[in-house]
Amino acid sequence: MQYLKPLDRPALQALGIDGWAYGFADRVRFYELDALNHVNNVAFLRWFETIRVAYLQDYGLTSYAHDDTDPQIVIRAQSADYFAPMFQNESYVLTARTTLVKPSSFVMEYAAHVDGQVRCAGSAVVVSLEQDGKTRRAHKPEAVTLMIERDGATTEGL
Amino acid sequence: MQYLKPLDRPALQALGIDGWAYGFADRVRFYELDALNHVNNVAFLRWFETIRVAYLQDYGLTSYAHDDTDPQIVIRAQSADYFAPMFQNESYVLTARTTLVKPSSFVMEYAAHVDGQVRCAGSAVVVSLEQDGKTRRAHKPEAVTLMIERDGATTEGL
Amino acid sequence: MQYLKPLDRPALQALGIDGWAYGFADRVRFYELDALNHVNNVAFLRWFETIRVAYLQDYGLTSYAHDDTDPQIVIRAQSADYFAPMFQNESYVLTARTTLVKPSSFVMEYAAHVDGQVRCAGSAVVVSLEQDGKTRRAHKPEAVTLMIERDGATTEGL
Amino acid sequence: MQYLKPLDRPALQALGIDGWAYGFADRVRFYELDALNHVNNVAFLRWFETIRVAYLQDYGLTSYAHDDTDPQIVIRAQSADYFAPMFQNESYVLTARTTLVKPSSFVMEYAAHVDGQVRCAGSAVVVSLEQDGKTRRAHKPEAVTLMIERDGATTEGL
């Protein structure tokens, strides 16, 4: 399997992962372990950030241009549930999806899968701001369309 | 103010922080910033881990001996709410408390305070295991007593 | 190109990278950037660690068993030279080789390549210890053979 | 001792640390440990970065304004020597000094001290650029004066 290459819904289903339309494979690195010799709880949040950044670019929400052509995307809240530990060199598939999209925010879910089982699941409330880091900014319409069509995101106030 | 020196309830109240009995002061470091030039969302979870480790040692739940005299303490779930961004060199006070203690688990809350305002709040469900990383292990009774007396933790099933 | 799949000498040469017999491809992640919006200087040392750990396992120096069947491998010194900045999403090839092997230590070199150019190069003096973390321990002979045969490492005191 | 409060030459000498005019105290955190349960080799480079950033601000080389009033400060090379391992909760004093200053670059040294012994020492070649990240930019003269007066930095080409 190719690492970090975006996987779509059929590719994920072929790996036994249903209900997700965006993912990629990666592998546990030494620096993600802590003194207990398993993947540190915070490392999973790093993974969710990594796939979120890729997702935001691939779905067209931002190009991270750091200028007015793009929103500044920030996290308002996030959570993680840990179901089983992970260890050095384990290969896993990371998935992301948007479940709810509102005019200038959305709710995402994430999961780390090993052999079809979810080791860690997460969620985040993501907000779209102007580059001032304060004013709310509406999403690019094409991105919203992809969130709905690919992920089946529900809408509210759109 | 001294950095990293544990602060008790009166010391925190003197700083305008009510409702917490354990904390310490620290300062934002360059490596906690991300490309948006503010503290990265994941860095706050690192802070919560740092105060949790200090708390677990100071309250006597574990000495991190990595042998059978101690439990292995793991995270089952955690969450964070972000209220306002933080920046390079900002001084903050980090606080932690246990709100609920059960026979082999407990629920903690965390907050990062700047000038009496909470910038980020978090919570975690923490589980006490044997060194096999699987079997549940009861807390040391003295630690439970401190959680109740100092923090006002409620109990369930004890 | 497949990420994280070990690349041997012919595979690296096909990518325009000569003089190396061990490498893999990877991609810059958001958390490796700092407030200057380029890859932080410390992130490169993380990459060198990641390939060193893979190399030590693939060449048979250690299986990271954390028991007496394996040495404890520690770093005595390291250095890095930065030739050009790197940015979000850049794909790169990381390479590692041993240049000198002594009875219980060795010298490694590392490089991060983009389009045939080295962006950052590094070196490390690596020492093999017993699990006590103090006593020197001789390398496994098969590993030394591979360092010589694959990498062309010179020897001293063997 | 107060953590993170800058220590000058007399304050450091009182701690048994000679030859340095800038430092601060800090303490090992859980996230700086790796699977070997000691401070990871890369964490020391993070510490050197943290004191370098504080030093650059305190000596007046940059205010990290990210605009044309300030240079962009980048690392061209760095190295570290590891003399003894460090462990969870250890208190240490971090020191930094400039040994050589040239028109648009300088050489720094760093050390992590525990009870008067150096556990890890480092050095860095630091370059001052315009905000374009390419063109060399001369240092602010007041900063150079402090490097010479406080640290005893030698000069070349000034």
Q: How confident is the model over B99-125, as pLDDT tens digits?
A: 999 999 999 999 999 998 999 999 999
Q: Is C116 left (phi over 0), alpha (psi -120 to 50) or beta?
A: left
Chain-chain contact of A79 with B76 (C-beta, under 8 angstroms): no
- For chains B and C, CB pairs below 8 A equal 22
pLDDT value at C1 more than 80: no
The predicted model gives A70-77 an average pLDDT of 95
pLDDT at D133: 87
The SS3 of residue D75 is strand
Q: Which residues in chain D have Cβ-Cβ distances shorter than 8 Å to A35?
A: 30, 33-35, 37, 88
The SS3 of residue A98 is strand
**Domains contained in chain C, number:** 1
**B43/chain C closest Cα distance in angstroms:** 10
The SS3 of residue B19 is coil
Chain-chain contact of D35 with A40 (C-beta, under 8 angstroms): no
Q: Is residue B4 part of a domain?
A: no
Task: Enter the pTM of the model.
Answer: 0.95
**C45/chain D closest Cα distance in angstroms:** 6
What is the token pair recorded at D61?
A: 């080389």
What is the token pair recorded at C138?
A: 């001789």
C-alpha count within 13 angstroms, C-beta hemisphere, residue A115: 3
| CB-closest option in B49, B74, B133 to A42 | B49
Helix/strand/coil (H, E, C) string of C8-42? Answer: CHHHHHHCCCCCCCCEEEEECCHHHECCCCCECHH
Q: Which residues in chain C have Cβ-Cβ distances shorter than 8 Å to B40?
A: 31
**Residue A75, strand partner residues:** A126
| CB-closest option in C45, C79, C85 to D77 | C79
Contact at 8 Å (CB) between C18 and C95? no
pLDDT at C65: 79
Nearest residue of D to residue C41, measured between CA atoms = D75
pLDDT value at A95 more than 90: yes
Q: How far apart are CA A116 and CA A110, in angstroms?
A: 14
Q: Is residue B78 part of a domain?
A: yes
Q: Is residue D119 part of a domain?
A: yes
Q: Is residue D4 part of a domain?
A: no
Q: How far apart are CA A17 and CA A29, in angstroms?
A: 23
Q: Is residue A49 part of a domain?
A: yes
Q: Is C43 left (phi over 0), alpha (psi -120 to 50) or beta?
A: alpha
Amino acid at A17: I
Contact at 8 Å (CB) between B116 and B106? no
Chain-chain contact of C82 with D76 (C-beta, under 8 angstroms): yes
Task: Give, in order, the Cα–Cα distances in Å from C109 to each of C10, C21, D46.
Answer: 19, 12, 21
pLDDT at D2: 64
Q: How far apart are CA B52 and CA B98, in angstroms?
A: 10
Global ipTM: 0.94
Chain-chain contact of B79 with A78 (C-beta, under 8 angstroms): yes
pLDDT at D83: 97
Q: How confident is the model over D10-27, as pLDDT tens digits?
A: 999 999 999 999 999 999
Q: Is residue A14 part of a domain?
A: yes
Contact at 8 Å (CB) between A119 and A61? no
DSSP state string for D95-158:
EEEEEEEETTEEEEEEEEEETTEEEEEEEEEEEEE-TTSSSB-PPPHHHHHHHHHHH--EES--
Average pLDDT, chain C: 94
Task: Name the percent of chain A lying above pLDDT 70.
Answer: 97
Task: Name the percent of chain D lying above pLDDT 90.
Answer: 87
Q: Which residue carries 């080389």 as its tokens?
A: D61
Chain-chain contact of B80 with A77 (C-beta, under 8 angstroms): yes
The predicted model gives B30-45 an average pLDDT of 97
| CB-closest option in C38, C46, C76 to D82 | C76
Buried b (16+ CB within 10 A) or exposed e, C55-84: bbeebbbbebeeeeebbbbbbebbbbbbee
Chain-chain contact of A40 with D31 (C-beta, under 8 angstroms): yes
Chain-chain contact of C50 with A31 (C-beta, under 8 angstroms): yes
Chain-chain contact of B88 with D64 (C-beta, under 8 angstroms): yes
Choose among C127, C147, C145, C146: nearest CA to C137: C127
Q: Is residue B3 part of a domain?
A: no
Q: Which residues in chain D have Cβ-Cβ distances shorter than 8 Å to B28?
A: none
Average pLDDT, chain D: 94
| CB-closest option in C35, C79, C82 to D79 | C79
Split at pLDDT 50, 70, 90, the class of C158 is: confident
The predicted model gives D41-51 an average pLDDT of 98
CATH at D103: 3.10.129.10
pLDDT at B83: 97
- For chains B and D, CB pairs below 8 A equal 38
Q: How far apart are CA D50 and CA D39, in angstroms?
A: 16
Q: How far apart are CA C95 and CA D151, in angstroms?
A: 38
Q: How far apart are CA A49 and CA A52, in angstroms?
A: 5
Choose among B88, B81, B85: nearest CA to B27: B88
Q: How confident is the model over A143-156, as pLDDT tens digits?
A: 999 999 999 999 98
Q: How confident is the model over D140-156, as pLDDT tens digits?
A: 999 999 999 999 999 98
Choose among C33, C22, C23: nearest CA to C147: C22
pLDDT at B156: 81
Distance of CA C113 to the CA centre of its chain: 13
For testing contact with chain B, the best of A81, A86, A118 (most B CBs within 10 A): A81
Residues of B within an 8 Å Cβ radius of A:
35-36, 38, 40-42, 45-46, 49, 64, 66, 72, 74-82, 85, 133
| CB-closest option in A3, A46, A49 to C3 | A3
Sorted by sequence, the CB contacts under 8 Å of residue D119 that are 6+ apart come out as D82, D83, D84, D85, D86, D92, D112, D113
Q: Which residues constitute the domain of residue B131?
A: 9-155
Phi, psi of B31 (to 5 degrees): -75, -5
Split at pLDDT 50, 70, 90, the class of C156 is: confident
pLDDT at C2: 64
Distance of CA A119 to the CA centre of its chain: 15
Q: How far apart are CA C120 and CA D77, in angstroms?
A: 9
Quick one: angle between helices C41-58 and D41-58, nearest 10? Answer: 170
Start-to-end C-alpha separation, chain B: 38
Task: Name the percent of chain B lying above pLDDT 90.
Answer: 87
What is the token pair recorded at C7?
A: 């690349």
What is the token pair recorded at C153?
A: 């490492």
pLDDT value at D59 more than 90: yes
pLDDT at A75: 97
**Residue A110, strand partner residues:** A96, A122
The residue length of chain D stands at: 158
pLDDT value at B1 more than 70: no
Quick one: angle between helices A41-58 and B41-58, nearest 10? Answer: 170
The SS3 of residue B80 is strand
Choose among D43, C130, A41: nearest CA to B72: A41
Q: Is residue A1 part of a domain?
A: no
